[in-house]
Amino acid sequence: MADSHATTLEPEAHNPALLHHFADAQQQKNAASLGMWLFLVTEIMFFGGMFCAYLVYRLAHFNAFAAASQQLSIKLGAFNTAVLLVSSLTVVLAVKAAEAGNRKQLVTYLVITVLLGLTFLVVKGFEYAEKFERHHVPGPTFSFTDTFDDGSQKIPVNPNEAQLYFSLYFAMTGMHALHMIIGCGLFTVLAVFAWKGHYSPGYFTPIENAGLYWHLVDIIWIYLFPLLYLISRHR
């Protein structure tokens, strides 16, 4: 066994990133990738629980959810969706730059990604501030007086049901924003490491796996945007 691998191990031994318990760099990469995907599946289930709660309550209290949803700004939501999609593009271009061994391009794309992530968070912050001003934050000061317009008449809605919507809104977008903050931190660290030259075409697994994480956070927002912002907008 050791003899047959001696020749293949020799060149790999020069790669300081290759850990001794892996046969070669490809096996190490596959193991890291599998671990990342398993983590992403737990993330899908984690957000899945909140999506499930949302689905059940939306079906039970549709009018209140529609009236509350119409208080959100579609412009800001769509803008943030576009920002996140473009950041996903810059991440995949960063992975490509890492694979090509282009350090300058890699750092540039990582920095752009962080800036886009921060743009998303700032816009989200303005949206949250508006919710506080209008007492749309669940709690003792919550107030909701808007009605649901079904096209022919205005139907008053139960403020408690609207509060349920905003609870889910803050839980889901808040958890999503927390993931964005973690992602921005992650990419900042990776950008510094990339600048120092830690990654080579033979080893850029951290860039790839952080990219997978960022894409998943993007996918969650792809579902949050229509579900939270676009309920019954036509009138």
Partner 1 sequence: MSEHATSSRKFYVGIGMSLLVLTSVTVFAAFVNLGPFNPVVALLIATIKATLVVLFFMHVKGASEKLTAAVLVSGFFFLAILLSLALADYLTRAWR
Whole-number Å distance between alpha carbons of 112 and 114: 5
Give how far Cα 27 sits from Cα of 6, 30, 57, 82, Å: 16, 5, 45, 36
Contacting partner 1 within 81-140 (CB under 8 A): 81-82, 85-86, 88-89, 91-93, 95-96, 99
Whole-number Å distance between alpha carbons of 55 and 119: 29
> Computed over its alpha carbons, how large is the radius of gyration of the chain?
23
Give the residue with the Cβ less far from partner 1, 96 or 154. Answer: 96
What DSSP state is assigned to residue 73?
-
Report if residue 212 touches partner 1, rule: CB under 8 A: yes
Query: Rounded to the nearest whole angstrom, what is the least distance from the CB of residue 191 to partner 1 in the complex?
Result: 19
Give the residue with the Cβ less far from partner 1, 49 or 139. Answer: 49
Structural tokens at position 73:
């700004």
Whole-number Å distance between alpha carbons of 94 and 168: 34
Give the residue with the Cβ less far from partner 1, 137 or 212. Answer: 212
Residue with tokens 């499930």: 52
Q: Which parts of this chain interact with partner 1 (CB under 8 A)? A: 26, 29-30, 33-34, 37-38, 40-41, 44-45, 48-49, 51-52, 55-56, 59-60, 74, 78, 81-82, 85-86, 88-89, 91-93, 95-96, 99, 208, 211-212, 215-216, 218-219, 222-223, 225-227, 230-234
